[in-house]
A and B are shown apart, each in its own frame.
Chain A
Amino acid sequence: MKILIVDDFSTMRRIIKNLLRDLGFTNTDEADDGNTAMPMLKTGKYDFLITDWNMPGMSGFDLLKNVRADEDLKTLPVLMVTAEAKRDQIVAAAQAGVNGYVVKPFTAAVLKEKIEKVFERIQ
């Protein structure tokens, strides 16, 4: 299981990476926005994408849309971990095909629950 973590703040990537390690996911890579993430995803090495929304360059929302529009990536599970908390944004993310939505600040338990839920649903 290889996971790509996309966030413009290295501290947040590090927090998520640590929490994932505690959950037993040690195989992770990082990218700082959608533009750097997209070519990495296109290599086909990743089984799961965790992305922030608000990033310079390509936002997480656009990354989600690009992933869903890509023939090879359209079924990739995507978990959004973001401070974006407006109802219409969450609805938009759901409509764009997000698999889970975690609002920052979050706890380790919430992240674990949402990741498990995403896997449960796709299995």
Chain B
Amino acid sequence: MSNDRKIRRDLEPEVSDKLRQQVAELNQCLEDNDYAGAMNLINELSEVRDQSLYREVGRLTRTLHEAIRNFQIDPRSEEQKEVLSLMTDASDRLAYVVQMTGQAANRTMDLVEESMPVAQALGDEATVLREEWQRLRRREMQPAEFRDLFGRIDAFFVSVTSDAEAIYNSLSEILLAQDFQDLTGQVIQRVTALVKEVEEQMLSLVVMASHVDQLTGTVHQLENQVVSAEQGQGPQMKAEEREDVVSGQNDVDDLLSSLGF
């Protein structure tokens, strides 16, 4: 493990030396029937234990505090600075990610919903004109109808130009609406780094607590938490490598048909 340095598996040498020394003194007191001295030593022993615990907790608290303080993002523009100065903690930042991605999705869908009828109308008109054009080629058209068609084709060319431009502009704006990825990506990376750091510190707290457990002789009853199938868990990671998770709609269909669906 790369953070072996951080996670000490033994007590600090000065603490274990002190313990050994006090145990020897305690033995001596007991041999000499000096019970008052023995009691004092036992008190001192528990003080050593407590102090080493407090020291570790203090160290952990400082490191956690620093990790949280270091959890900053470098705003690159005045606008970003203003937005980011409003956010002071990880949950605010994640709420900001949800908001930004929501805005981008809605902006994109606005533009798509605007463009779809335009594309649909172009296609419909082209279909009608093609049918008329074929009638003309088959010489089934009266001169009056031809004059109509002539005007309609003219108008169609005009609308093709403006509609194509409108669709192009929408697509270009959809492209721009993806710029959230830059900011949200930064925020998520920061939160991920913070979570990792906190995780490491929690691990060292657990290791430290296990030393205390050894000293106090505490045994924990750990229960395995079973998550009910009925509880929603959100998207699963590394689905391809896992047996208990489907890796796509085909897997779902296979599973359901195996159940007689």
Indicate if A10 sits at the interface (CB-CB under 8 A).
yes
| Interface residues of B, count at CB 8 A | 26
List of A residues within 8 angstroms of B248 by Cβ: 103
Residue of chain B at shortest CB distance from A111 = B249
B41 to chain A minimum Cβ distance, whole angstroms, is 56
List of B residues within 8 angstroms of A54 by Cβ: 232-234
Indicate if A55 sits at the interface (CB-CB under 8 A).
yes
Could you mark each residue 210-233 of chain B with 1 if its beta carbon is under 8 Å from any beta carbon of chain A, else 0? 000000000000000000011111
For the A-B complex with A60-B232, A90-B255, A101-B252 known, give 6 more contacts whose Cβ atoms are closer than 8 Å: A14-B105, A54-B232, A59-B230, A85-B239, A85-B246, A87-B246
Indicate if B75 sits at the interface (CB-CB under 8 A).
no
Indicate if B102 sits at the interface (CB-CB under 8 A).
yes
**Chain A contact residues (Cβ within 8 angstroms of B): what range?**
20 to 34
Indicate if B33 sits at the interface (CB-CB under 8 A).
no
From known contacts A11-B102, A85-B235, A86-B245, infer whether A103 and B259 are also in contact, taking CB-CB under 8 Å: no
Indicate if A94 sits at the interface (CB-CB under 8 A).
yes
Q: Is the CB of B229 within 8 A of A103?
A: no
Indicate if A29 sits at the interface (CB-CB under 8 A).
no
A99 to chain B minimum Cβ distance, whole angstroms, is 9
B110 to chain A minimum Cβ distance, whole angstroms, is 10
Indicate if A23 sits at the interface (CB-CB under 8 A).
no
* Complexed CA–CA distance, A53 and B105 (Å): 21
Lowest 8 CB-CB distances: which A-B pairs, in order? A54-B232, A11-B105, A88-B229, A92-B229, A83-B235, A53-B232, A85-B236, A85-B246
* Complexed CA–CA distance, A15 and B230 (Å): 25
Indicate if B244 sits at the interface (CB-CB under 8 A).
yes
* Complexed CA–CA distance, A15 and B102 (Å): 12
Indicate if B261 sits at the interface (CB-CB under 8 A).
yes
> What would 14 A/B residue contacts be, using CB atoms closer than 8 Å?
A11-B105, A11-B109, A14-B105, A14-B109, A18-B112, A59-B230, A61-B230, A62-B230, A84-B233, A84-B234, A85-B236, A90-B255, A91-B259, A103-B248
Q: Is the CB of B255 within 8 A of A103?
A: no
A17 to chain B minimum Cβ distance, whole angstroms, is 10
* Complexed CA–CA distance, A106 and B113 (Å): 19
Indicate if B106 sits at the interface (CB-CB under 8 A).
yes
